[in-house]
Amino acid sequence: MRRGHLPARAGTRKSVVVPETSAASAASASPTTRIHLFVCYYQSSSPERNAELDEVMRHVTHHQSAEYDEVHVVIEQPDVEAFRTVARRPATGTVAENVRVHVFHTRARFCDLFALAQQARDAHMQRASPPRRVVSIVCNSDVYVGSASLRHVRSDERLTDSAVYALTRYDVDAIGPEHEAGARFFRSAASQDCWIFGGALPAAPTASGVGAPQDAQIGDYLMGVWGCDNRLVYELAAYADCEVRNPSLTLRTYHLHNAGGTPARKGYRPQRGTILFPYLMLTPTTLREDDTSRTVWTLLTFVPTERDAPAAKVVIELVQPTGTRLRASLQQLHQPVYHKVTIVNSRRSEATHS
């Protein structure tokens, strides 16, 4: 089943769309590939944190806008004027022509951004003759993709229709080439802040998906909640049958968050709780490494043991991340009852179904 797109929630948003007149330098950079960026903007309760969010958005909409064909920014109604102040370029007093603003009345979920991305992709495919390949990038609000990495993405033949890159970040103290040169890699398989899609955006489970609940949606939860990135990778691999990798040793995304703590969004209580298991975590690699020998997928979930017994925590590491082995392992974990769970060590365990 082809991966489709989700309709937006009724009555939750309106869009201010600029006609498709992308920056010339972006369009000429690759005559066969378009890059669309999707990111949220919001006002924090902390002035220090606001300054960081503004700096990232200013960099994307002022200095990097010509490197994208379209920049889509999701904003909640109270933050529209703040965004316009940040996004207006001093030289012209206007926002870049390829920036589109989508006003939501509630906080966006992953699936909301995926739906917008699919709509933008479909719109280009319908208008253009001939249509160009479209790469869609979804980023957290305090993250931007390095310019060299964007150039790499435009020409990356590995980024096929079924491929997704879930990237681990590099922390910076400020924005600029000198700060990027000294960026600190957050080396973790359990953290991603940027997702790059080579083809259609996932919405509902595919026919070959494993273990998806009835009427499941991909990414039907808020961004920025603990565990959301690990759950999203799991859903992309298990439900949507995507080939997900983390080539963050080649592709760099920069993260600006030095303000103390994690302040709440204005008008919100801090988000409590976590996104539920199962999780799938990805070892960072380069694009040159052999997928079958270097990428390690770590599946973390809870499964039932014997009847009426407490669920057991299971961690399984798979060296081969794609194809039948991953799907077979996921399928095994969705059998109705596990009679034995053997803990191998604190990092790895395996489940045996009898």
Residue 216: the pLDDT is: 87
Structure tokens at 194: 């940027």
Q: What is the pTM of this model?
A: 0.82
Identify the CATH number of the domain defined by range 13-276.
3.90.550.10
Q: How far apart are the first and last CA of the chain?
A: 32
229 neighbors 192 (Cβ within 8 angstroms):
yes
Q: Provide the pLDDT for residue 335.
A: 47
Please report the pLDDT score of residue 327 as a whole number: 61
pLDDT at 275: 82
Residue 109 per-residue DSSP state: B
DSSP state of 59: I
* Residues of the chain under the 50 pLDDT cut: 1-11, 15-29, 262-265, 267-272, 291-293, 304-305, 320-323, 335-354
The full set of domain ranges for the chain reads 13-276, 296-352
Q: What is the pLDDT of residues 10-32, one digit of tens each?
A: 345 554 443 333 334 444 445 78
Q: What is the pLDDT of residues 220-277, one digit of tens each?
A: 999 988 889 999 998 998 888 888 899 999 999 999 999 875 444 454 444 445 787 7
Q: Which residue has the tokens 């049958």?
A: 241
